[in-house]
Homo-oligomer: A and B are copies of this chain.
Amino acid sequence: MADLDVSDLHGALTDKALNSMNFLNEVAQHYPDAISLAAGRPAEEFYAIEDLHSYLDTFCAYLRDELGYDEAAVRRTVFQYGRTKGIVHRLVARNLLADEGITVDPEALVVTVGCQEAMVLALRALRKDANDVLLAVEPAYVGITGAARLLDLPVLPVAGGNDGIDLDDLIAVVKAAKADGLRPRACYVMPDFANPSGLSLDLETRQRLLDVAAEQDFLLLEDNPYGLFPVEGVDRVPTLKTLDTERRVIYLGSFAKTALPGARVGYVVADQLVAHPDGTTSLLADELSKIKSMVTVNTSAIGQAMIGGKLLQHECSLVAANQRERSTYAANLHALTKGLAARFPDGEVTWNVPSGGFFLVVTVPFVVDDALLAKSAQEYGVLWTPMGHFYDGDAPIHALRLSCSSVTPAELEPALDRLAALIRDQL
């Protein structure tokens, strides 16, 4: 006999967003022999256990030599409870300056348990009551939707269109929400090589997005896990935070793709000033830190030491540290688009050609759902992600996401053969 009924538990547990992640993981586990064009994990060929030892030693040397810690303080820093906002904040600030041209006070940073916790902190702070809503460019990363569900914060989708965001739709959604008595607090956007669309915002769109946010008075939640991975010959576009002159952007950072996921270290830049009734102001980062102390207390010091060590070994530039990875992703992305062109020359099946990142979207003339993915895994031996998982509603979606990040060159052609067979059998 059951002890609890799911209908007596928090509603998020039966929500599509939370069950998407679960379903996708389970399919991958059930068909371990299928080639995966689904996983968004980074390439793992360059990882070596010795590097972890080395990162730890490098970070301890930094504590000793640069910060002047004695041995007891070094041990305390990596073994004990520590600063809620983190212990690699100075190094993250150097990294932001080196790789993004963002100048940030290290005190305005909260180091988090991956970017996911950064989202949770920001959304929790911004959700005061039932009138608050989040805007999110759709198709949207399921992690932002899921976090919003957990925090009882409704998400209003904004059309992504072909440019990464449809600013007219954004303005219309905001105005309609306000007319309904709702308060759009922030718009979540991934301006560089977005997951899942692969699209990027051009410079003009970024400037206009900042203008709209200012005019309509909401914040931008900029998530940038893939920005370091443009293909060869493509120039990087400044982040929204780089362009932000009036603290309109909360910047969500991840080291999962640029260093290693197993450290679970991300961060949030929250330099907004918060007014208090006694006339004082605080950094939004300090408010997020209070929330963090009740979610995870602090981010693993050992995980932070790994990221700190890796940053230190590359003069705090992850552009420099990821040259091999960047080439790998670019080569795979090129092979994917070239392979699709060879297999679908007649225009019935189409795809976008992203200028970087991990993902592209294939559009097909039939509905793509979980049942088709299960069939693909079982009968065709290839995994991918139904785009429906990235939309809030239940409207049928005719597209699938392919990932180029964790497939080997040798797997790519057979993977595409299998995918092509599946698609042809549906036509």
Chain A positions near chain B (C-beta within 8 angstroms) = 1-13, 17-19, 21-22, 25, 41-42, 44, 47-49, 52-53, 56, 60, 72, 74-76, 78-82, 84, 113-114, 116-117, 120, 124-128, 143, 146-147, 149-150, 152, 246-247, 256, 260-265, 272-277, 281-282, 284, 287, 289-291, 293-303, 306
Known: A125-B10, A272-B4. A79 touches B295 (CB 8 A): no
Choice from B9, B25, B114, B301 contacting A84 with Cβ under 8 Å = B25
A128 to B21, CA, bound (A): 21
A56 to B53, CA, bound (A): 9
Known: A2-B281, A6-B287. A116 touches B296 (CB 8 A): yes
Which B residues are CB-close (under 8 A) to A9? 125-126, 128, 274, 287
Choice from B3, B5, B79, B273 contacting A260 with Cβ under 8 Å = B79
Which B residues are CB-close (under 8 A) to A13? 125, 287, 290-291
Find the B residue at minimum CB distance from A74: B49
Choice from B47, B150, B264, B303 contacting A291 with Cβ under 8 Å = B150
Most buried by B among A11, A116, A147: A116
* CB atoms of A79 and B272 under 8 A apart: no
Q: How far is the CB of A268 from chain B (nearest CB, A)?
A: 14
* CB atoms of A47 and B264 under 8 A apart: no
Q: How far is the CB of A286 from chain B (nearest CB, A)?
A: 8
Which B residues are CB-close (under 8 A) to A25? 84
* CB atoms of B4 and A262 under 8 A apart: no
A22 to B247, CA, bound (A): 25
A328 to B25, CA, bound (A): 45
Which B residues are CB-close (under 8 A) to A150? 124, 291, 294-295
Q: How far is the CB of A155 from chain B (nearest CB, A)?
A: 13
A325 to B81, CA, bound (A): 17
Q: How far is the CB of A121 from chain B (nearest CB, A)?
A: 10
Which B residues are CB-close (under 8 A) to A72? 44
Q: How far is the CB of A7 from chain B (nearest CB, A)?
A: 7
A408 to B34, CA, bound (A): 57
Which B residues are CB-close (under 8 A) to A256? 81
Known: A263-B302, A302-B302. A4 touches B284 (CB 8 A): yes
* CB atoms of B76 and A147 under 8 A apart: no
A206 to B41, CA, bound (A): 46
With A11-B128, A113-B297, A302-B306 already in contact, 11 other A-B pairs whose C-beta atoms are closer than 8 Å: A3-B246, A4-B284, A6-B282, A10-B125, A21-B290, A49-B60, A79-B261, A81-B261, A116-B295, A117-B296, A302-B303
The 6 listed contacts between A and B (C-beta, < 8 Å) are: A3-B272, A12-B124, A12-B294, A264-B300, A264-B303, A265-B300
Q: How far is the CB of A133 from chain B (nearest CB, A)?
A: 14
Known: A8-B128, A264-B298, A275-B4. A293 touches B146 (CB 8 A): yes
Most buried by B among A265, A290, A294: A294
Q: How far is the CB of A230 from chain B (nearest CB, A)?
A: 23
* CB atoms of A290 and B120 under 8 A apart: no
Which B residues are CB-close (under 8 A) to A294? 12, 17-18, 21, 116, 120, 143, 146-147, 149-150
A25 to B85, CA, bound (A): 12
Most buried by B among A17, A117, A152, A265: A117
A40 to B12, CA, bound (A): 34
Known: A261-B80, A262-B80. A10 touches B302 (CB 8 A): no
